[in-house]
Structure 1
Amino acid sequence: MMFHPEKCTTINITKKRSPIHTGYRIHGHTLESVPGGKYLGVYISKDLSWNSHLQQTAAKATRSVGFLRRNLRGCPSDVKAQAYTKLVRPVLEYASSVWDPYTIQQIDTLEQVQRQAARFATGDYTSREPGCVTSMLQHLAWDTLEERRARNRAVMFYKIMNNLVEIPLHHYIHVSNTRTRSAVANNIRYISTRVDVYKYSFLPRTIITWNSIPPDIRNQPSIDSFRHALPTISMPGLISTM
């Protein structure tokens, strides 16, 4: 496969304020260095912050909710709810195992989209008393997006642990084979981290969630049975900070 050099760019991923810049060339063409760009639909920034991706995702989902409001105004509530879950929520959750946010501000940016959709689905745009939208979400049986992302990360980890995806996890984790007061057999050893960009990335964060899932659920024989069992338990590891 031939690469078109004028359509290729480089991203210098670093947290340093004054990084060392290196030029890269393809077919005699020096590639442009950019602060970020999309890869498989996910916007990756040079500082590994997900702010740009979250803003783009929330904006796209908000436009979709607006489209549904204009075109499904007179439809029944169940039709509106299904339109949201089938057309908008996948936008909010695409590849979320990779970029699952951890700050309150980032989490609220996405939750606000679903809260707007709840008003649309129920047809209630006037209620303003405290807890009114939460009641709408409960009536619609919509879990928070944060809870859904935690379950999606657990499902991805199940796939990795059972060799259902090509990710060589044994290079990065260690399984405890003995039971002690502080560890359960077959738990994954926690990964020690010092910076938030790694601490809240997929592996360190999801290991916390995985170890908190009861062994009988972790040992489900199929991905469908595992996925079906997850909503019956609370999901630890929903770590939110300012």
Structure 2
Amino acid sequence: MDELEILGVIIDKKLTWAKHISNTAARAGQKLGALRRVANKLDVKGRATVYKAQVRSVMEYASLCWMSASTTTLKLLDSIQSKALRIIGVDEQQARMDLNIPSLHHRRQVAAASVLYKMHTSLCPPDLKALLPKPYMIRRATRTSLSMPSHALTEPVSRTLSTGRTFVHVAVHVWNGIPDCVVGEITDYGAQSFKSRVHQHLLGLRFSRGFLSLS
């Protein structure tokens, strides 16, 4: 058997996720066509709302499963969002700042960090909690180790590029880069508030990097 479909997710034997994402892009493209047909009847905010509810939701189904796909494969989805922004009538900066439409990569990072937050709580299923890495321990005083926040976790070892893009690896990398003030006190019902804070934090980082690259 070369592939298996579980709950709408196509898993191939090499875990490339190519077929699943290709199918996802095709479904999202069909819904984007529907948005294009009604676009002239909606204002910018209306078109953005339809995009987020009907198109982007398709492209984010079970995204933490297949986020390890190659950059080339994931660009199929990025292309759909780029087309959607042209239909909506905004550029990427306007979409991000005015309509809460950041990149799909950004949203996958926020989602991964948010699940990692939930893994610290008592509401997390035991099987998922078992994947939580151990707290980071300073074994040698370096600039990097001394700058780690108090909530930092040990980053899993990655021997391949695709492994390094899987959920736990990405989530821990993002988690370790978040200041203590953004994480705050971890509680059973604090995940939604944390999600909002990490979203704003990562947006701020990307804005700063973009500003510096232009200066």
User: Into which bin does the TM-score normalised by the smaller protein fall?
Assistant: 0.7 to 0.9
Match of 1:134 in 2: 92
Same amino acid, percent of matched pairs: 25
What is the correspondence of 1:56-75 to structure 2 with a 5 Å cutoff? 56-75=23-42
Shift in CA distance, 98/81, structure 1 to aligned 2, threshold 3 Å: same
TM-score w.r.t. structure 2 length? 0.79
CA distance in 1, matches of 2:93, 2:120: 37
Secondary structure of the equivalent of 1:161?
coil
**Any idea what the Cα deviations from partners look like across 1:51-99, whole Å, max 9, x if unmatched?**
1111111111011010121234322222111111111111111111121
TM-score w.r.t. structure 1 length? 0.71
Secondary structure of the equivalent of 1:44?
strand
1:200 is aligned, of 165, 169, 183, to 165
State which structure, 1 or 2, has the greater radius of gyration over its C-alpha atoms: 1
Match of 1:97 in 2: 64
Match of 1:228 in 2: 196
Deviation at 1:48, TM superposition (A): 1.1
Secondary structure of the equivalent of 2:10?
strand
CA distance in 1, matches of 2:59, 2:32: 11
Bigger relative CO (Cα 8 Å, ≥ 6 apart)? 2
1:81 is aligned to 2:40: no
What is the correspondence of 1:137-216 to structure 2 with a 5 Å cutoff? 137-138=95-96, 140-166=99-125, 167-170=127-130, 173-176=133-136, 180-181=141-142, 182=145, 184=148, 185-216=150-181
CA distance in 2, matches of 1:171, 1:44: 21
The gaps in structure 2 that reach 5 residues or longer are 206-215
1:117 is aligned to 2:84: yes
Deviation at 1:160, TM superposition (A): 1.1
Q: Greater helix percent: which structure?
A: 2
Shift in CA distance, 171/89, structure 1 to aligned 2, threshold 3 Å: closer
CA distance in 2, matches of 1:84, 1:207: 30
Maintained 8 Å contact 2:112/2:171: yes
Instruction: Let me know the Cα RMSD of the aligned residues.
Output: 2.4
Maintained 8 Å contact 2:28/2:80: yes
Secondary structure of the equivalent of 1:43?
strand
- How many aligned residue pairs are there? 194
Shift in CA distance, 133/107, structure 1 to aligned 2, threshold 3 Å: farther
